[in-house]
Amino acid sequence: MIKEKVVIWGASGHAKVVTDIIRLNNKYEIVGFLDDQSPDRKGEHFCGSTVLGGVEQFDKLLKENINKIILGFGNCTAREELSKMVLKKGFELINAIHPKSIISPDTKLGNGVVVCAGAIINPGVAIGNNVIVNTGSSIDHNCSIADSVHICPGVHLAGDVTIGKCSWVGIGSIIKEKITVNSNVYIGAGSLIIKDIPANVLVYGSPAKIIRPI
């Protein structure tokens, strides 16, 4: 079987997770990694492949008909902004879905989505573009997850929860049913969310409280 070629943008911890998922699915060949944060890493061996460089590699990749890409970093705002960049350049964002995740057949998945091992997504859920559903998390029925959200490991969302664009739900947090978390919210680790959260705030605690604007 001839595999399609893909490049991963990012070369740190989350990129390792994405790499593992892609290799387990055996559909794509990873041609290398991009890293704009550390230009000196160009040519470095990483995770069974090579750091190719940064965005200056885009034209070369496209000329070689390598137009599949996935973002391998967790920052929500960066994922939102850089996904637009790669799409405008002519790349196609692929999904990385771990074979040991459980996803209801009627789930709506966007592009550039990463679903990690042990994640559970129940019926009626809508997942936007560039969302991360991380290890061992669960999203119950009829939830709506907007673009570039990061659902961290061990997070549990009850039914009918809405998460706005670019929000970060910290590791081990719990959100009760019918709660709305608006855009650009950062929820600290281990928080319990029992009230709607306005946009652009940091919250944490059990129950969570608004700490400050962001």
Contact 126, 108 (CB under 8 A): yes
- For the stretch 192-207, pLDDT in tens is 999 999 999 999 999 9
CATH class of 97-201: mainly beta
Domain ranges of the chain: 4-94, 97-201
**What is the pLDDT, as a whole number, of residue 182?**
98
- For the stretch 130-159, pLDDT in tens is 999 999 999 999 999 999 999 999 999 999
Residue 191 to residue 203: CA distance in whole angstroms:
8
pTM above 0.75, yes or no: yes
CATH class of 4-94: alpha beta
Residue 177, token pair as written in the block = 């049913």
**What is the pLDDT, as a whole number, of residue 108?**
97
Rg (CA), the chain: 17
Positive or negative torsion for Cα 104, 22, 136, 171: negative
* Residue 84 predicted with pLDDT over 80: yes
